[in-house]
């Protein structure tokens, strides 16, 4: 059979399948990310029927998927909101990094994976999934809740921290020497600071390049600028994902709103391709042996993430139910965890890291949305009430 014909059949069948399964997942209140990862595992190395022609399409599509995920995330924040949120939740952001990165690093060292893998696993366990959390908040009708700005503040700090973490990780995984690594890191950080400065001070000028009244030119222009900046950022070892995120921050006003609308279908398509490709690149046979360690790591780091959210909400004056809602909704990990694992594995750091990250993300994106519903249950509310009454009596 002609190679192009086979590619169309494989890609079409897989996209149709994950589309139907994703719809089913949505109906039962789950994120579709586990469906995409599971589909990739089923048709990847060691799976039921490995793809022969479609793998290259998913590889290229996954790169575009990361870029679109991050630019869409950046479009949700204005430069002023970014600065305000960082100032408001700086202490919670530091606590978030300490409590959630250290368990991952310690776990990698205990497994004997070495210091570079420890840095990678620290990032995997640190960063919550903005995409999954935004969907959970929307599905549960909590977007207007008092604790939601606290959740978003922590997510913004994490996303901004990635702008500095990813260049550090990139320098480590390529095995650069001290001098070369330092030079690479300085260039990367300088590039991040420059792009961030332009986004904060002159973002309005970038927005004037596009017209919100012309959807087609807006789509092509924003997508072109994003991919151009992402490519240039990657060239100086900053990470294409961070470049895309900063482009999103730089675009503001009506242009950002309309850009989000025209880019959303593309984001959804290529984000799905990204998660499928990560599953395709992971050997299913390697996932099974790490399920128990991944579950143990997930239990520990979901607990530390709940503690982070609870502390941040308490500092913001949120009542006890809102503190629990804040902590529990932050537990899912997703897109950034997969990006970090992919970066490390592609550089040959630790082959088992991909399997660990896949199992870990699957556990947290399934368990996280379920845990987020707990504060709305009658039993949970009754327990909080009883605790309040006991404390009042004592």
55 part of a folded domain: yes
* Domains in the chain, number: 1
Q: Mean pLDDT, 10 residues at a time, over the chain (394 residues)? A: 76 86 79 78 72 74 81 73 70 89 93 89 90 77 82 80 75 64 69 72 78 88 90 73 78 85 87 79 78 93 95 89 93 84 77 86 85 87 79 69
Residue with tokens 């990094």: 97
For position 110, what pLDDT does the model report?
92
> Angle CA(32)–CA(104)–CA(39) in degrees, nearest 5?
25
Whether 391 maps to a domain, the answer reads: no
Residue 394 lies in a domain: no
CA-nearest of 122, 164, 64 to 341 is 122
Write the Ramachandran bin of 176: left for phi over 0, alpha for psi from -120 to 50, otherwise beta.
beta
Tell me what pLDDT residue 173 has.
73
For residue 392, being part of any structural domain is answered with no
Judge whether 393 lies within some domain.
no
Q: Is residue 372 part of a domain?
A: yes
Structural domain range at position 366: 3-384
Q: Which residues contact 140 (CB under 8 A, 6 or more apart)?
A: 372, 373, 376
pTM: 0.74
CA 66, CA 182: separation in Å to the nearest integer?
26
- 105: CATH: 1.20.1530.20
251 is a domain residue: yes
pLDDT at 238: 63
In a domain, 178, yes or no: yes
Residue 143 neighbours by CB under 8 Å, 6+ apart:
137
């Amino acid at each position: 059979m002609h190679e192009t014909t086979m590619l169309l059949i494989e890609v079409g069948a897989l996209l149709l399948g994950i589309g139907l399964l994703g719809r089913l997942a949505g109906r039962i209140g789950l994120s579709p990310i586990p469906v995409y990862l599971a589909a990739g595992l089923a048709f990847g190395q060691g799976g039921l029927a490995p793809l022969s022609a479609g793998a290259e399409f998913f590889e290229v599509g996954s790169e575009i998927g990361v870029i679109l995920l991050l630019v869409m995330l950046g479009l949700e924040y204005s430069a002023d909101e970014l600065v305000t949120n960082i100032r408001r939740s700086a202490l919670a952001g530091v606590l978030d990094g300490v409590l959630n990165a250290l368990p991952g690093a310690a776990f990698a060292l205990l497994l004997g994976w070495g210091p570079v893998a420890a840095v990678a696993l620290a990032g995997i366990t640190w960063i919550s999934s903005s995409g999954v959390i935004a969907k959970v908040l929307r599905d549960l009708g909590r977007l207007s809740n008092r604790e939601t700005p606290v959740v978003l503040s922590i997510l913004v700090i994490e996303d901004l921290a990635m702008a500095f973490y990813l260049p550090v990780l990139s320098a480590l995984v390529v095995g650069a020497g001290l001098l070369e690594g330092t030079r690479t890191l300085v260039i990367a950080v300088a590039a991040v600071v420059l792009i961030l400065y332009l986004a904060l001070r002159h973002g309005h000028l970038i927005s004037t390049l596009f017209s919100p009244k012309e959807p087609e030119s807006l789509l092509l222009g924003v997508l072109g600028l994003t991919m151009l900046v992402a490519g240039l950022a990657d060239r100086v070892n900053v990470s294409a994902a961070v470049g895309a995120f900063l482009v999103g921050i730089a675009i503001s006003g009506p242009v950002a709103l309309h850009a989000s609308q025209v880019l959303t279908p593309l984001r959804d398509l290529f984000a799905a391709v990204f998660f499928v490709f990560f599953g395709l690149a992971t050997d299913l046979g390697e996932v099974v042996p790490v399920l128990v360690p991944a579950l143990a790591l997930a239990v520990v780091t979901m607990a530390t993430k709940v503690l982070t959210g609870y502390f941040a909400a308490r500092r913001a004056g949120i009542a006890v139910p809102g503190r629990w809602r804040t902590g529990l909704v932050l537990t899912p990990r997703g897109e950034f965890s997969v990006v970090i694992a992919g970066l490390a594995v592609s550089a040959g750091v630790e082959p088992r890291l991909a399997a660990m990250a896949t199992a870990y993300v699957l556990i947290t994106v399934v368990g996280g949305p379920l845990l987020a519903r707990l504060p709305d249950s009658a039993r949970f509310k009754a327990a909080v009430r009883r605790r309040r009454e006991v404390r009042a009596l004592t």
